[in-house]
Structure 1
């Protein structure tokens, strides 16, 4: 019945059997047969036909109006059924820079798996440059990266703000001071920094530039966890995300030192390669925004 209505609507809108047949990729006799069958079904003529035109009569106008509604409901119903059947399941490759991947994302992935048990997320953690490269080459479906990120090949969405703080061992002289630490004192310190390509390293270099300091003693580490451990041991000081040091601050293993102009915020972004999203990617992005971390909840000002 829906095909008969589909043909009827095409004829009514094209006002011509030949043009309707062309649009529907059918022969004109087939179109005529569909119209005859429909008119027999309703027991009345629906179209006025002459050599010059085809147009709806009163009965045809009623059928046309409701045929449009019926076909619209068919389309809507099919879309809803397809969406229901196309459940979030199967593999989903996710990339994240270290800070977000290690300290924010695990809780979200647990919730994702609980909500969509048939979805199979796989997480890759790396620095911002690596994650962007993997998304660009279609090896990852989505990435969450930090820093002032720009790439014409990727779709970039602003996602969340993060606060950066300077931390030291509670035994460090800076940690015991009530007032601000001076710039020259910071420059004389040993800084424990992340490797090149890291968003945290980019933030650290930006801070050095804004404060017009150039520390001579820098020690590179490839992970935030190792940086926290050596700073806790008293090897030096570092700039890290508040997301990364919440546990250590709560336990008293690290302490924020007072630096004028800090904390400062940086942007996290969601990156994808294509606007066409699978159901799995769609529900994951919805979860990311629903569970977006709040800076205020983490002690930011």
Structure 2
């Protein structure tokens, strides 16, 4: 039901880029420009400034962006409420997931959800926990799935599944000959970790603090922005990686990597659904219930 010109404006305002908006909306860039000009004429206000090749929102644009977010949120709620009357759900659900969840947990859930609810269009953004929480607070997504210990007071967290961070080495490297190491030994062994802002790093730091150890005490050779990056790095280096067991299960089964136990150091965490406080029932709740039941059934098999 939303005005298409408002959708065009919202896309340009979100990306601050006319070309990216055209790609997102599957229209030409001249069509984007035409819709923005028509909207500016209709509202009698300039919405964007173009300075040295960059696009900026004007004060009027900032005001309109805030209202478009509210309009689209009401539109999604209306679609959900009408769909629930007939038990035939439709609409758009914007999800955000931290990297580990988005890569290793959600794909199977999303495939089954699409089979069950083909009229619900889902978009998924993968990023680290802090960025997903920021997108949710800004109402750029409807629900997040995150990892980590830090909690944002603006947001409501609902437990999803348990996970464990484990130390791994590639089986072609000398480190894989070890079955267990102590925390003292960990201080000197080369380690590669996720980047600042990732939930995985947050829980590792929190657990290390319980043992009076900081990241500065470790021999960190590199921080990488993805779990796949860590796994690839370990193929070429005699180094430990600390990652989610959910991210390495297939490689453990085929013998490519080995878990190295760390004495008295167990890093267990919870993956959480995260929503804005006071959010009314929506497609987010439908997905949350479906995902929880799907994972429970999978774990019982």
Name the structure 2 match of 1:120: 121
Name the structure 2 match of 1:175: 176
| 1:160 Cα deviation after fit | 1.8
Question: Residues 99 and 82 of structure 1: is their aligned pair in 2 closer, same or farther, counting only changes over 3 Å?
Answer: closer
Name the structure 2 match of 1:20: none
Alignment of 1:113-152 (within 5 A): 113-152=114-153
> How far does the alpha carbon of each residue in 1:49-103 deviate from its partner, in whole angstroms, 9 at most, with x for none?
xxxxxxxxxxxxxxxxxxxxxxxxxxxxxxx987343632121100111111100
| 1:293 Cα deviation after fit | 5.7
| 1:272 Cα deviation after fit | 0.8
Alignment of 1:47-86 (within 5 A): 83-85=84-86
CA root-mean-square deviation = 2.5
Name the structure 1 match of 2:32: none
- Aligned to 1:228, which of 222, 231, 255? 231
Q: Which moved more, 1:110-119 or 1:146-155?
A: 146-155
Alignment of 1:1-301 (within 5 A): 83-85=84-86, 87-178=88-179, 180-213=180-213, 214-273=217-276, 274-278=278-282, 280-292=283-295
Structure 1 unaligned segments of length 5 or more: list them: 1-79
| 1:201 Cα deviation after fit | 1.0
Considering fraction of residues, name the structure with more strand: 2
Alpha-carbon distance in 1 for matches of 2:207, 2:244:
13
Name the structure 1 match of 2:57: none
Structure 2 unaligned segments of length 5 or more: list them: 1-80
> How far does the alpha carbon of each residue in 1:95-130 deviate from its partner, in whole angstroms, 9 at most, with x for none?
111111100000000001000111111000110000
| 1:171 Cα deviation after fit | 3.0
Alpha-carbon distance in 1 for matches of 2:113, 2:208:
39
Higher radius of gyration, 1 or 2: 1
Question: Residues 81 and 192 of structure 1: is their aligned pair in 2 closer, same or farther, counting only changes over 3 Å?
Answer: closer
TM-score, normalized by length of structure 1? 0.66
Alpha-carbon distance in 2 for matches of 1:159, 1:245:
19
| 1:170 Cα deviation after fit | 1.2
| 1:204 Cα deviation after fit | 2.4
User: After the TM superposition, which parts of structure 1 deviate over 4 Å for at least 4 consecutive aligned residues?
Assistant: 293-298
Question: Residues 256 and 295 of structure 1: is their aligned pair in 2 closer, same or farther, counting only changes over 3 Å?
Answer: farther
